[in-house]
Structure 1
């Protein structure tokens, strides 16, 4: 489990977000730092650091530092575990990691995409690469499908009121700040249907989308903030979705 995966950035003030970012970017140093060191590094007051530590569930700063140190040690132990071969990795992709109604969920999304005039895929990092892959396959089938990993792009230029628009967000955690900001930046959210594929059904992203498809798999990270979680479940969902859309094209 990723550290602080229970936090929602939208629930943090701008000061608390600065503290959060400094801590995440300097995790290896935190067990050896004082409150003042973190305050100086985040350009906030020591009182703000104390309040942040308490807000995220710790009674004291030493307790917080101990938690970080223990978490780092657990990560190091996980990184020394045996290599996972292809058989074990493929066997991990079983129906138990999906919602019991996942086939219905995918088909329901496919019907929405079939009738859409514009389909946008959005994601960052590995999710962004899969967004590109999925958009390209749909474009090959004749759908107007575009993938964007530059989340500052003015996407409203694609979302005309006289057409049916869909955005599919791809995010393992469902807490990708930039994706959440994209939704917040949509002035008229009624002109686009928002879907997401994510590990966390209770995430901020899933809650702000009209529809979500979730899966369960252990998160894998290096240095805490580098996401190495398997994308096989997400790819399986998308390949099934694309298969339905391919069949719809055949029927026309």
Structure 2
């Protein structure tokens, strides 16, 4: 938040710049200081301080102090608002949103991925971004893992019969049409383990997978088609999964 709107530092004299620096570095003190106090601490004259105050748009020192006091109160209020929003978001990660056996579920998926020769993460939109993120991290620790959000890609070209393949689908709704079409086309594929991470364990996607991990989250949308739902629960599951797989590579 700017203290003095439309103030150009280049147009201030060297003395005025000293006064400005002192004020911005001591905002909490200013409402309780006199002109003389500011002048003494900034090593300038009282006249220079008063001229600066007039230059930034105030007729008197009390008016200036009142402005600074309001500025601080507004800044503190905005900080408190941000803190509430942060606490609300983090609060979504309490353990009640996960299945009681969430740790077992993640370890079970980790064991399958650990034994896989090829791992593919798939999702669309924000879920696609998560898929790319986790695939990159698993590749960094030595797994043959990629992500796709281009769901028309012929993924069968990756799924050789002489290797163990693991597919992980990410979808909040579990009803993403394109993902369902992909997994339906793999219904009879051999050596393919199909997992999904979703907010709806009864969804079409979860029913088509061999195994699913679900969580509870309030879905948020704007203009129907714009998904604003938090990805924090899915991210927590994925980060824990990555942790288990990283531990297995160090053993």
TM band (smaller chain): 0.5 to 0.7
Counterparts in 2 of 1:28-177, with a 5 A limit? 85-177=85-177
Q: Matched residues in 1 for 2:107 and 2:128: separation?
A: 23
CA offsets, 1:14-43, max 9 Å, x none? xxxxxxxxxxxxxxxxxxxxxxxxxxxxxx
Aligned twin of 2:29: none
Q: Matched residues in 2 for 1:102 and 1:111: separation?
A: 14
Q: Highest relative contact order (Cα 8 Å, sep 6+), 1 or 2?
A: 1
- What TM-score do you get using the length of structure 2 for normalisation? 0.66
User: 2:185 matched to 1:185?
Assistant: yes
CA offsets, 1:122-181, max 9 Å, x none? 000000000000000000000000000000000001100000000000000000000000
Deviates more, 1:96-105 or 1:221-230: 221-230
Q: Matched residues in 2 for 1:228 and 1:91: separation?
A: 17
Aligned twin of 1:242: 242
The Cα shift of 1:185 comes to: 1.6
User: 2:219 matched to 1:222?
Assistant: no
Classify the secondary structure of the residue corresponding to 2:110: helix
Q: Which runs of 5+ in 1 are unaligned?
A: 1-81
Which entry has the higher C-alpha Rg, 1 or 2? Answer: 2
Q: Matched residues in 2 for 1:117 and 1:144: separation?
A: 7
Q: Matched residues in 2 for 1:100 and 1:211: separation?
A: 16
The Cα shift of 1:207 comes to: 0.2
The Cα shift of 1:187 comes to: 6.2
Aligned twin of 1:203: 203
Q: Matched residues in 1 for 2:188 and 2:220: separation?
A: 36
User: 2:219 matched to 1:213?
Assistant: no
Number of residue pairs matched by the alignment: 170
The answer to whether the 8 A contact 2:151-2:178 is kept is yes
CA offsets, 1:174-232, max 9 Å, x none? 00000000012226333310000000000000000000000001000001121100000
Q: Matched residues in 2 for 1:168 and 1:160: separation?
A: 17
The answer to whether the 8 A contact 2:92-2:233 is kept is no
Q: Matched residues in 2 for 1:139 and 1:121: separation?
A: 12
